[in-house]
């Protein structure tokens, strides 16, 4: 059995674009041609590869075939470039990457922009939490990911990048209202906080760490017994999350890398300079003999070396 490359390209286009019609436009063919290619591929393999939802998504079998399609695309691009084919004659290769929001909003884009200028490549960035990016890697949706998962997933290699540092911060007005005599566990139990979304556990992680540091602290009325559950806002945008804290909606964990100027200007106050949390980040990519992916990884690693905390302080 041999799989046709145009069928694999079509599968990748459908999953990238989310619909048969959008894939047809991207491939410069008719929707009927896209449908026929997918049908032929499914009949050849005897498996359903796509769930016809909005957007279309891959079945478990479709994820495996998608990985093959991605790998062939990378190898074809690498072979043509190695043979000296003019870059203008090579279809730009798509490099889908999964990146956590804070890395996307701070240090990673300049590295990708420089590569984009130098390489015949287009980046397709998928934003997910650092704990969730590897799921896209396993599914074949992306070829590499910035993740908090240190163990290499099957078929991938991993590089440590360093740690993204976060510290509890708030506006001066918020501090004056909620922490006039300093931040205690009793006050943290009632002071509003800002979360990125419902999968954001950073603020609760700080509360747990603070409770371990000060087990005897509290108001004496039992308000700090057990997990602290202060009122929470949810602001699912990196820039708006920081802005919400600056506007006094609540306190939250922010990376100094993102808001250093606002701390220096006094717009934000570090509530507990000794209470930072470091989230170790790793680069995971498919184990594929691709010079392009190696250059992407090298650029990401170099950018992380300049931006992230390295060595024992990463925790």
Which of 66, 93, 111 is a domain's end point? 66
11 occurs within a structural domain: yes
Residues 272-278 have a mean pLDDT of 87
Which of 45, 66, 87 is a domain's end point? 66
Which of 66, 85, 111 is a domain's end point? 66
Bigger pLDDT: 176 or 71?
A: 176
86 occurs within a structural domain: no
The four Cα atoms 286, 291, 292, 297 give a dihedral, to 10 degrees, of 60
The Cα–Cα gap between 169 and 203 comes to 11
Is the confidence at residue 315, as pLDDT, over 50?
Answer: no
- Which pLDDT does position 155 carry in this prediction? 86
DSSP state of 152: P
| Radius of gyration in angstroms for the set of CA atoms belonging to the chain, rounded to a whole number | 23
Tell which residue, 229, 192, 49, 250, has the closest CA to residue 242.
Answer: 250
Q: For all residues of the chain together, what is the average pLDDT?
A: 88
Q: Residues 116-135: pLDDT tens digits?
A: 888 888 899 999 988 889 98
Q: Are strands 232-234 and 193-195 parallel, antiparallel or unpaired?
A: parallel
108 occurs within a structural domain: no
Both structure tokens of 305 = 């070396």
The Cα–Cα gap between 282 and 175 comes to 35
Q: Residues 148-171: pLDDT tens digits?
A: 999 998 889 999 999 999 999 999
- Which pLDDT does position 290 carry in this prediction? 79
CATH of the domain at 172: 3.40.190.10
DSSP-derived 3-state class of residue 144: strand
284 occurs within a structural domain: no
Q: Residues 237-250: pLDDT tens digits?
A: 889 999 999 999 99
179 occurs within a structural domain: yes
Domain count, the chain: 2
Count how many Cα atoms sit within 13 Å of the Cα of residue 253 in the half-sphere of its side chain: 23
110 occurs within a structural domain: no
149 occurs within a structural domain: no
Is the confidence at residue 225, as pLDDT, over 90?
Answer: no
Give the domain extent around 193: 165-276
The Cα–Cα gap between 164 and 150 comes to 14
CATH of the domain at 60: 1.10.10.10
The Cα–Cα gap between 194 and 179 comes to 16
Q: Residues 5-42: pLDDT tens digits?
A: 899 989 989 988 889 999 999 899 999 999 999 999 99
94 occurs within a structural domain: no
At 222, is the pLDDT very low, low, confident or very high (cuts 50, 70, 90)?
very low
Bigger pLDDT: 131 or 221?
A: 131
The Cα–Cα gap between 188 and 194 comes to 12
% of the chain beyond a pLDDT of 90: 54
At 219, is the pLDDT very low, low, confident or very high (cuts 50, 70, 90)?
very low
DSSP annotation string for 65-126: HHHHHHHHHHHHHHHHHHTT--GGGSPPEEEEEEE-HHHHTTTHHHHHHHHHHHSSEEEEEE
């Amino acid at each position: 059995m041999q799989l046709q490359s145009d069928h694999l390209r079509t599968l990748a286009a459908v999953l990238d674009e989310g619909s048969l019609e959008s894939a047809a436009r991207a491939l410069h063919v008719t929707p009927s041609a896209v449908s026929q290619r997918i049908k032929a591929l499914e009949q050849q393999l005897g498996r359903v590869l796509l769930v016809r939802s909005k957007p279309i998504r891959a079945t478990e079998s479709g994820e495996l075939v998608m990985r093959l399609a991605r790998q062939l695309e990378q190898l074809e691009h690498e072979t043509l470039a190695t043979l000296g084919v003019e870059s203008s004659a090579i279809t730009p290769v798509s490099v889908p990457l999964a990146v956590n929001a804070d890395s996307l909003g701070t240090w990673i884009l300049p590295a990708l922009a420089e590569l984009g200028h130098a390489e015949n490549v287009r980046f397709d960035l998928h934003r997910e939490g650092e704990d969730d990016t590897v799921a896209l890697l396993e599914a074949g949706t992306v070829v590499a990911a910035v993740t908090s998962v240190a163990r290499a997933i099957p078929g991938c290699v991993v590089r440590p990048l360093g740690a993204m540092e976060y510290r509890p911060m708030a506006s001066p007005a918020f501090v004056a209202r909620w922490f006039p005599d300093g931040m205690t566990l009793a006050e943290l139990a009632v002071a509003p906080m800002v979360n990125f979304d419902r999968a954001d556990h950073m603020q609760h992680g700080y509360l747990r760490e603070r409770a371990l540091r000060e087990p005897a602290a509290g108001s004496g009325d039992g308000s700090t017994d057990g997990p602290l559950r202060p009122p929470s806002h949810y602001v699912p945008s990196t820039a708006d999350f920081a802005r919400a804290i600056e506007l006094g909606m609540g306190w939250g964990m922010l990376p100094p890398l993102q808001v250093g100027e606002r701390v220096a200007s006094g717009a934000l106050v570090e509530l507990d300079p000794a209470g930072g949390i470091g989230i170790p980040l790793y680069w995971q990519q498919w184990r594929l003999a691709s010079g392009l992916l190696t250059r992407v990884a090298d650029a990401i690693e170099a950018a992380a070396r300049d931006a992230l905390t390295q060595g024992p302080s990463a925790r």
